[in-house]
Amino acid sequence: MTATTVTAPAPGAGTASKQPAAGGAGAGRLRTILAPVLLGVVALLLWQLAVVVFDIKPFIVPAPLSIGGEFGTNIATVVAGAVVTGGNALVGLVIGGIVGIVFAILAALVRVVDELSVAIVAALAVIPIVALAPVLYTMFGAGAETARQLVAAIAVFIPVYINTLRGLRQVRPVHRDLLHVYAASAWQMTRTVTVPGALPFIFTGLRIASSLAVISALIAEYFGGPVGGLGKSITSAASSSNYNLAWAYVLGAILVGLVFYCVTLAIEMFATRHYRPTS
């Protein structure tokens, strides 16, 4: 993944327009939102139709309406579970994100750190992180959420680190020259040009990581630890043959993932709103 998703097409350089054309952008945005929503509605309708027409049993796949009904009646426990799982994911996202960014800055500044971390990051990227969960539960005690948060943090660290480091290496030559002209120190260069310039990349990393954080925190629950989260609720509902309820929790997990993704996307769009390439 690169930051291509955040760099809008080149603006009409040389036009004196103060503000981007709001009308066109608004219509475009509406269409990008409307299209997937319509597709989703159509898919749900077909799904419902298929379940009714072919008389599919709930343990294979329940109808969306029954899932929705179950979701509505159990909204309190779904929300409680979402708070637990989402909380773990958030802690993991914040810790993994900060560590990933700080490490990437160190690696960009100090060559030794970069060389040392290549091996560590490669190893971390290869390990299926959730496989660490059972080990971490014994380390931190099965009664604490720490193991899950740590799993999420490690999962977040990798994309954030890799994207940030790539962004830190994309300094525009004219900016490098400028800071050289000002006889700026390495730290001044990092603070005023390198890190701000890498923001689109950092946010791309965080956006990928946000979904990973939710998935990791959720799956880590399958391997033990306290009850109450969405992951544990899915397994216990499924094992007591309450398939509609299990799917209602799955729906909850999907919504948590969506919220994480959309919030990071919104922050990204705000923070990089002026980053269109200028002349």
Q: Which residues of the shown chain bind other proteins in the complex (CB under 8 A)?
A: 11, 13-16, 18-19, 172, 174-175, 177-184, 188, 192-193, 196-197, 199, 274-279
CB of 109 to other proteins, least distance (A): 17
Which is nearer to other proteins, 19 or 239 (by Cβ)?
Answer: 19
| Closer Cβ to other proteins, 29 or 180, answer by number | 180
Contact between residue 264 and residue 207 where contact means Cβ atoms under 8 Å apart = yes
Q: Which is nearer to other proteins, 58 or 197 (CB)?
A: 197
Closest to other proteins by CB, 28 vs 40, is 28
Q: How many CB atoms lie within 10 A of CB 54?
A: 8
Question: Shortest distance, CB of residue 178 to other proteins, whole angstroms?
Answer: 6
The dihedral built from the CA positions of residue 191, 194, 196 and 199, taken in this order, carries a sign that is: negative
Write down how long the chain is: 279
Q: Which 8-state DSSP code applies to residue 9? A: P
Q: Cβ of residue 271: shortest distance to other proteins, in angstroms?
A: 9
* DSSP, residue by residue, 203-256: HHHHHHHHHHHHHHHHHHGGGSS-S-SHHHHHHHHHHTT-HHHHHHHHHHHHHH
Name the residue nearer to other proteins (CB basis): 75 or 266: 266
3-state SS, one letter per residue, for 153-190: HHHHHHHHHHHHHHHHCCCCHHHHHHHHHCCCCHHHHH
- Smallest distance, other proteins to C-beta of residue 20, A: 9
Cβ atoms of 93 and 213 within 8 Å: the answer is yes
Rounded to the nearest whole angstrom, what is the least distance from the CB of residue 57 to other proteins in the complex?
A: 56
Dist. CA 10–CA 64, nearest whole Å: 43
- Kindly tell me which of 18 and 57 has the beta carbon lying closer to other proteins: 18
Cβ proximity to other proteins: between 2 and 7 the closer is 7
CB of 206 to other proteins, least distance (A): 17
In the bound complex, what is the minimum distance in angstroms from residue 187's beta carbon to other proteins?
Answer: 11
Q: Cβ closer to other proteins: 115 or 177?
A: 177
Q: Please report, for residues 94, 111, 115, 209, 266, the alpha-carbon distance to residue 1 in angstroms, rounded to integers and kept in the order given.
A: 21, 24, 22, 12, 18
Closest to 90 in 3D by CA, of 239, 268, 263, 237:
263
Shortest spacing between CB 198 and other proteins, in angstroms: 11
The token pair that represents 39 in the structure block:
């597709």
